[in-house]
Amino acid sequence: MPAFFDLLEAETQTQVKVVLGHFMFVYIHPYMDGNGRMGRFLMNAMMASGGYPWTIIPVEKRSEYMSALEAASVEQDIQAFTDFLALLLEEQDQV
């Protein structure tokens, strides 16, 4: 966990902090132990600190969300998760 906090403290770009911070938290503490809500809360706290709106991951997009996190973990490719979060923000702007 200290490395996680060091990563967050050192990163100056909110967008990078949100994507990597959320991914690293759920990687360190997988959902099997119930940390999904905490991971999404931390993601939103980081987003709010950077001036972004609170973002809810709709239940209908759960499989897409989980697939994007899985790709980041197994394939070491964070792009799908980054795109997923960007799309959520874009969809919120249209509401």
**How many angstroms separate the CA atoms of 86 and 65, rounded?**
12
Q: Is 29 a catalytic residue?
A: yes
Query: Closest by alpha carbon to 73, among 39, 44, 37, 38?
Result: 39
**How many angstroms separate the CA atoms of 82 and 95, rounded?**
21
Catalytic entry in 8, 24, 29, 89 = 29
- CB burial of 5-15 (b: ≥16 within 10 Å; e: otherwise) equals eeebeebeebb
Single-letter amino acid code for the residue at 20:
L
Query: Which residues form the catalytic set?
Result: 29
